[in-house]
């Protein structure tokens, strides 16, 4: 698994300022062992299956028992929407074939 920081952007308003950062996880492959998200503290995350994964590659995310039967399946280009979570290491994922996912997060 390879993490690549691909930049950030900021949005500021009268009530609250947010800084959005994003990184990609590549090298996701078919494995019986679930991969765990990085130990990274956040307040919200949006996970997207890379559109470059190919038409039939699914990525499944969930807890420590995630698999193709009980995980939240993301087809290429699909995302979870914003999920409130304290650390990315609480998320596990597995792929149906080699692929990549993108994390966008708010700290």
Q: Which domains does the chain have, with CATH numbers?
A: 19-106 (2.60.120.770)
d(CA 51, CA 25): 13
Are 62 and 105 in contact, with CB atoms under 8 Å apart?
no
The residue that leads in pLDDT, 25 or 19, is 25
pLDDT in tens, 43-83: 889 998 887 777 777 888 999 998 888 999 998 889 999 99
Q: What is the pLDDT of residue 58?
A: 84
Q: Give which of 43, 107, 98 is closest to 76, Cα–Cα.
A: 98
pLDDT over 60 (residue 10):
no
Which of the 8 DSSP states describes residue 69?
T
Q: Can you give the C-alpha Rg of the chain in angstroms?
A: 14
Burial label for 40, CB within 10 Å (0-12, 13-18, 19+), is middle
């Amino acid at each position: 698994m390879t993490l690549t920081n691909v930049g950030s952007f900021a949005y500021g308003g009268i009530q609250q300022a947010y800084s959005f950062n994003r990184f990609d996880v590549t090298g996701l492959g078919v494995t019986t062992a679930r991969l765990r998200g990085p130990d990274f503290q956040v307040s919200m995350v949006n996970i997207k299956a890379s559109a470059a994964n190919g038409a039939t590659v699914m990525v499944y995310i969930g807890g420590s028992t995630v698999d193709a039967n009980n995980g939240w399946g993301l087809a290429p280009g699909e995302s979870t929407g914003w999920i409130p979570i304290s650390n990315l290491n609480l998320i596990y994922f597995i792929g149906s074939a080699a692929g990549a996912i993108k994390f966008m997060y708010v700290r």
